[in-house]
Structure 1
Amino acid sequence: MSAPVRALSTDEAAAFRLLRLLAAESSPYFMAALFATVPVAAPGLGTFAVDASWRLYMDPELLVGPEAWPQTDAAGVLLHEVGHLIRDHAGRGEQLPQPMSHGAWNYAADAEINDDLIAAGIPLPAGVVTPEALGCDPGQLAEDYYQTTQAAGWPEPSPGEGCGSGAGTWASPVELPADVDVDGRGSLSDADGDMVRRHVAEAVREAVEGAKGRGNVPAGLARWAADVLAPPQIAWQAVLRGAVRHAVALAAGQTVHTYSRPSRRRVPGVILPAMRGPKVRVGIVVDTSGSMGQADLDAAMAEVAGVLRAGGVDRSRVLLYACDAATSTAQRVTNIIHIELVGGGGTDMRVGIAAAEHDRADVVVVLTDGDTPWPDTPTRSRLVCAVIRHSKPTGTPEWATTVHITPGRS
């Protein structure tokens, strides 16, 4: 049986700091993430693991003593575990078709990380999972590896094995509640985690551009950083707020009281409910016709990410429709990494708008180069026409909100 999780001892903390230094020296762009994790000792765990709150659980026998891993291997495992947090494997795992195979996802996520670590020359223990070991080509995403691994029927590890809830698999039995402090340090919130990811992505981009850092950045990591940093050009918070003002009544009659989060008002001896307004349903129609080049699609994906980050938008109610002259099946998406864009034919965004309205969208955002017919009469939902082209957009309905996006502008 494992002993209770505790703070690192003096010797263990010294060993961990050395591993962190070795890891940072080999991958300096991971510095922010390495120092953001909260290290704890998990006696009997037999490995390293992470939870979704950025705690790093380490079996102390692997840090110090006769059974300790070689320092270079242990530093590589540290980078591996931090890699799960950086790439948000927990959040991405939640978006897989349910019920998911926890074992297949852990293998797939491991392969995505190890592929880049090996390419960077990072030493790892023998027998780590690689794309080749899964029968896959390197350079793909964990979602691609997952499909192959799940279809191959790889054996499921026992619940509790693997890299922990921070990798999107089963929570390790030793994992602590998010609100528990260890040695005076708490866990990271989702917002803090996103901020760390952005810091790492910026460091990766600087390394790619040669501003600082050593060696070559693995292609998969560079691609991840580019996705994280792709900035939206539109202030979607303001655009959606204006559109939603017409689409969703925020009057008191539509505001409900809830005790799930008490009110900030304090009355002695009385618990008051908070007031919660309705969340917004957003339909995003992406033009995938033949006239949309790769730069146009990249610009569209940056704006999709901006919509997802806008306040007041319930990510569980965001649906995306890839549309040319026909519409693909609606995709529920909380992260642009999961989006599949299919198409290449003619152009008629009215089809996608109709599909979004059928799914009861409050706001429909159309990302297109503008070479499409538009509805003749106002739609039930508020329509936002985001036109991607170098010249000012023309031809959009007067009753719609129109914004202009320049492709290729960072």
Structure 2
Amino acid sequence: MASPELWEKWSAARVRAAHQAPYLANALLSLTPVLVSGPSAGELRRFPADPGWHVYVGTEELARQSVQEVSFWLIHQVTHLLREHFRRYPGSTVHPKAGDQHAWNLATDAEINDDLTPLHPSSEVTTPSTLGLPDNETAEHYWHALRTNSPPHQPQPGNPPSPPSPDIPGDCGSGCDGLPRAWDRDDLPALSPTTARLTALDTARRIRERLNAQDDVPAGWRRWADQVLEPAVSWRRHLSAKVRHGLAEAAGRVDYTYRRPSRRAAALPGVLLPSLRRPLPSVTVLIDTSGSITETMLARALAEVTGVLRAVGVGRRLLTVITCDARAYRPQTVTRIPALQLDGGGGTDLRAGFAAALARRPPPDLIIAITDGRTPWPARPPRTTRVIVALLDANGQAPGWAETVHLEGAS
């Protein structure tokens, strides 16, 4: 049991971390501390995390390290989680070699700490330069260089590198490579993959906002935010093109209104003429939350659609999300992605979701349905609403009257 003084130190370290990297504040608050004592406590020098966003706190290390050091490791660990290093560990896809796990820890540390240079609390931190490798590369690049023992970059004369695999104490935990540790607590409530993905989206948005206010975000974080918010591979461009085309068609519609006088009214005194109105398009995202949809699939698809809509510039008031399994749940106006409630988990019948979306007044100009396609569909298309189906499963089916995009790799 940690003393009140130690918990105060922990809180101070988290506040300091949020002050040093404000765009990570929400992610830092998502970390759940877990106290660890006993033989394993000495291995917790880096306050390791797991994929469920638990951070393991040894009371001895918390007492020994300064607030500055603890705050650095909190930023370091939350970066492992946001960049999903535990999913990216390549050790399971190649012929194993001794030291692969340690090399990956070093490689991910180099990717992270390259962006945290001003925050380094001591010389015990792994950076690209300590490995004799170039800056601004990925963890996969560093890992390959360490495994082959042939770094692609040679240091300048007079500035020799440290050995390629320095024996720096500490372990970043399963949050780094996905491999279990003795101190991991699988019995504790964990952050779901969907919530973790939404936290990443929120962090990327905060980075963009920070860049608009002041230019102090490291280059690695900028690249990461671009990858999260601006999908770049072919099916994503296809989805973006479909959404843009649908919105452009909706925006092209005009109607008459008497709220504003016509510019031609002066030619006909005493006659009230209506003017033409070009409505802003509204979008409803219909999300299949049935039991056949995994949280990973759902988080991936939702990330792509919200990224596209943000890039298009759809206003928050005009974007509605409806979750649906065998029935439709309450419509939600999206103001902050992490606040989205993903209800459901039963059978599948998206006809209920379409009925709920089209019952709104006025009905949406565009419906984007995210589903695995294992659902009944309405027999006829909506009269005035365009429909785009984002299929998560290659074996799923979409109606012939809808435009369909296959989200390759989303599953």
Normalised TM-score (structure 1): 0.51
Does residue 35 (structure 1) correspond to residue 35 (structure 2)? The answer is no
Inter-partner Cα distance in structure 2 for 1:54 and 1:275 = 24
| Structure 2 residue 99 is the aligned partner of structure 1 residue 103 | no
TM superposition shift of 1:401: 6.5
Deviation string, structure 1 residues 169-214 (Cα, Å, up to 9, x no partner): 543210111x42xxxxx3201111111111111111111122xxx6
Q: Taking structure 1 as reference, are residues 161 and 22 closer, same or farther at Cα in structure 2, changes over 3 Å only?
A: closer
> 2: CA distance between counterparts of 1:222 and 1:215?
10
* Residue of structure 2 aligned with 1:13, choices 2, 7, 25: 7
Q: What is the aligned partner in structure 2 of residue 152 from structure 1?
A: 149
* Superposed CA offset, 1:74-131 (max 9, x none): 211111111101111111126863355211111110001000001xx21333221111
Q: How does 1:186-205 map to 2 (within 5 A)?
A: 186-205=189-208
Distance 1:215 1:59, change over 3 A: farther
Shift of 1:63: 1.8
Residue number in structure 2 paired with 1:123? 120
Question: 2:52 aligned with 1:49, yes or no?
Answer: no
Deviation digits for residues 158-177 of structure 1, max 9, x if unmatched?
A: 9x962111111543210111
The 3 A distance-change label for structure 1 pair 11 and 175 is same
3-state secondary structure, aligned to 1:90: helix
What SS does the corresponding residue of 1:53 show, helix, strand or coil?
coil
Q: How does 1:335-374 map to 2 (within 5 A)?
A: none
Q: CA deviation at 1:11?
A: 2.5
Given candidates 200, 203, 206, the residue that maps to 2:209 is: 206
Residue 174 of structure 2 is aligned to residue 171 of structure 1: no
In the aligned structure 2, how far is the partner of 1:62 from the partner of 1:187?
A: 23
Q: Give the C-alpha shift of residue 143 in structure 1.
A: 1.1
Residue 8 of structure 1: how far off its partner (Å)? 4.7
CA contact (8 A) 1:103 1:156 kept: no
Q: Is 1:162 matched with 2:156?
A: no
Please list, as runs of the form range in 1=range in 2, the aligned pairs for 1:307-318 lying within 5 A after superposition: 311-312=371-372
Cα distance, 1:22 vs structure 2: 0.6
Counterparts of 2:10 and 2:204, CA distance in 1: 24
Instruction: Determine the C-alpha separation between the residues in 2 that align with 1:21 and 1:276.
Output: 40
Equivalent position SS for 1:39: strand
Contact (CA 8 Å) 1:40, 1:55: kept in 2 or not? yes
Query: How far is the alpha carbon of 1:311 from its aligned partner?
Result: 4.1
Determine helix, strand or coil for the equivalent of 1:41.
strand
1:208-265 deviations in Å (ceiling 9; x for gaps): 122xxx66110011000110011556659x99xxxxxxxxxxxxxxxxxxxxxxxxxx
Amino acid at match of 1:312: D
- SS of 2:48's equivalent in the other structure is strand
The DSSP-based 3-state class of the residue aligned with 1:14 is helix
Match of 2:67 among 71, 81, 95: 71
CA distance in 1, matches of 2:108, 2:27: 18
C-alpha RMSD over aligned residues: 4.2
Letter in 2 for 1:36: S
- C-alpha change, 1:169 and 1:362, in structure 2 (3 Å) is closer
Q: Is the 8 A contact 2:44 2:56 kept in 1?
A: no
Tell me whether 1:83 sits opposite 2:116 in the alignment.
Answer: no
Structure 1: 5+ residue stretches without partners: 1-6, 181-185, 240-273, 278-298, 303-308, 314-360, 364-380, 383-397, 404-410
Match of 2:362?
none
Answer 1 or 2: which has greater helix percent.
2
Post-superposition offset of 1:312: 2.5
Give how far 1:10 is off: 2.5
Q: Which runs of 5+ in 2 are unaligned?
A: 151-163, 244-289, 294-307, 312-368, 374-393, 406-411
Structure 2: distance between partners of 1:93 and 1:21: 30
Residues 196 and 95 of structure 1, relative CA distance in 2, 3 Å threshold = farther
- Structure 1 residue 226 corresponds to structure 2 residue 226: yes
Amino acid in structure 1 at the alignment position of 2:135: P
* Secondary structure of the structure 2 residue equivalent to 1:63: helix
Task: Give the secondary structure class of the aligned counterpart of 1:50.
Answer: coil
Distance 1:172 1:157, change over 3 A: farther
Within 5 Å, give how 1:258-407 maps onto structure 2. Answer: 311-312=371-372
Distance 2:291 2:116 in 1: 48
Question: TM-score by structure 2 length?
Answer: 0.51
Structure 1: how far apart are the matches of 2:48 and 2:179?
11
Distance 1:96 1:14, change over 3 A: same
Q: Aligned equivalents of 1:75 and 1:223: distance in 2?
A: 23
Larger radius of gyration: 2
Q: Percent identity?
A: 30
The CA deviation string for residues 8-46 of structure 1, in whole angstroms up to 9 with x for no partner, is 543322111100011111100000111000011222234
